[in-house]
């Protein structure tokens, strides 16, 4: 049976290969998280997908992290197929979802390698856990997995997206060319992002709600008005701020399935993983699994509610106060409140 990270280490040890296995404190369960943690572009993260084919076989496909399946190519190369459910993937590979890789498998499986990987000399597949990766050359990956090369992903864009700084500069130049000076607005935006729109603001709201029952009632009734009492303003288009109270038996988590909306003036700008398509799509379909991958394993009898942000309605989670903090001051309480807890992917 596979044992996640340990089975991957044993796999390479049995082959007498000194392949670097990178373990991090950060969660690397998605391509975006892994790329950020390892300081590489998303394409260099080699993702492993599991499929059930029409002929009954269960197979693994390894592709570059930013590649998308081309259904027509897939059907031509492998026949019809569908992605396996997460519990089945964990069972057949021995690895948790978010750490699935083609090494140290619980059961032998056919492995296919998409040609998109050949764009890189070296890639980083997961290593059997949600905070590890293997740094390996593409040639060695093909050798140790005995993988068969296939072409089942969409072709890379002939016009790759320019770096963020270059795109921002182009927008600023276009505005200035039309008589709309943007420099002052950009400077103000940078200042707000770095010094004003911080999670510490939301932490102060939470601490006051924990220590002032009347304020807590006002916060739950009208979040926008209640945070204004502390000098926190929301943009005009944020018409409503709904505060979701966690309890010992209820847990709330927020998302934005369309983009990356948050009550950013209260809880801070959204983390990269919050904007990632994998989180946005999966948190509403596989809520408990996604939270578990991110380190929050909720009891099976705890009610879980997922809230999808809209253009005019923003949410923040009021975390459940830890029992051992009853004698703490508001300042002490504020220091333990995190952005993750106000989004709902952590409990305090």
Query: Residue 330's CB: how many other CB atoms inside 10 A?
Result: 15
On whether the CB atoms of residues 130 and 101 are closer than 8 A, the answer is: no
Q: Name which of 278, 288, 258 is nearest 30 in CA terms.
A: 278
CA 73 to chain centre: 28
What are the Cα distances from residue 129, in Å, to 2, 17, 59, 85, 99? 11, 20, 20, 18, 4
Cβ within 8 Å of residue 200, ≥6 positions away: 334
Q: Which residue has the tokens 């790329």?
A: 35
3-class state of residue 307 by DSSP: strand
- Residues taking part in catalysis: 256, 259-261
Whole-number Å distance between alpha carbons of 42 and 260:
18
On whether the CB atoms of residues 29 and 283 are closer than 8 A, the answer is: no
What are the Cα distances from residue 70, in Å, to 66, 74, 156? 13, 6, 11
Q: Which residue has the tokens 């009898």?
A: 301
């Amino acid at each position: 049976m596979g044992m996640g990270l340990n089975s991957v280490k044993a796999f390479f040890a049995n082959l007498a290969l000194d392949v670097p296995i990178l373990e991090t404190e950060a969660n690397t369960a998605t391509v975006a998280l892994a790329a950020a943690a390892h300081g590489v572009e998303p394409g260099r993260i080699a993702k492993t997908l599991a499929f059930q084919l029409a002929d009954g076989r269960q197979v693994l496909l390894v592709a570059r992290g930013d590649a998308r399946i081309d259904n027509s190519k897939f059907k031509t190369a492998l026949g019809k197929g569908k992605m396996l459910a997460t519990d089945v993937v964990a069972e057949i590979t021995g690895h948790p979802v978010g750490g699935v890789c083609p090494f140290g498998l619980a059961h032998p499986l056919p492995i296919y390698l998409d040609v998109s990987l050949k764009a890189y000399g070296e890639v980083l597949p997961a290593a059997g856990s949600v905070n590890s990766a293997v740094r390996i050359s593409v040639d060695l990956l093909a050798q140790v997995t005995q993988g068969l090369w296939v072409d089942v992903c969409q072709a890379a864009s002939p016009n790759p997206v320019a770096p963020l700084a270059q795109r921002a500069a182009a927008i600023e130049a276009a505005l200035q060319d039309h008589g709309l000076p943007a420099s002052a607005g950009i400077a103000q935006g940078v200042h707000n992002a770095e010094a004003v729109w911080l999670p510490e603001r939301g932490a102060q709201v939470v601490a006051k709600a924990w220590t002032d029952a009347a304020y807590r009632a006002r916060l739950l009734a009208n979040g926008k008005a209640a945070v204004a009492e502390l000098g926190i303003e929301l943009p005009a288009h944020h018409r409503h701020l709904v505060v979701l109270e966690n309890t010992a038996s209820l847990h709330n988590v927020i998302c934005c399935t369309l983009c990356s909306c948050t009550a950013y003036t209260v809880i801070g700008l959204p983390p990269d993983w919050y904007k990632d398509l994998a989180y946005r799509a999966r948190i509403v379909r596989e809520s408990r699994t996604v939270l578990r991958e991110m380190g929050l394993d909720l009891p099976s009898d705890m009610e879980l509610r997922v809230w999808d942000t809209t253009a005019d309605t923003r949410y923040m989670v009021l975390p459940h106060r830890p029992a051992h903090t009853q004698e703490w001051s508001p300042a002490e309480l504020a220091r333990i409140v995190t952005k993750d807890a106000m989004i709902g992917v952590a409990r305090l």
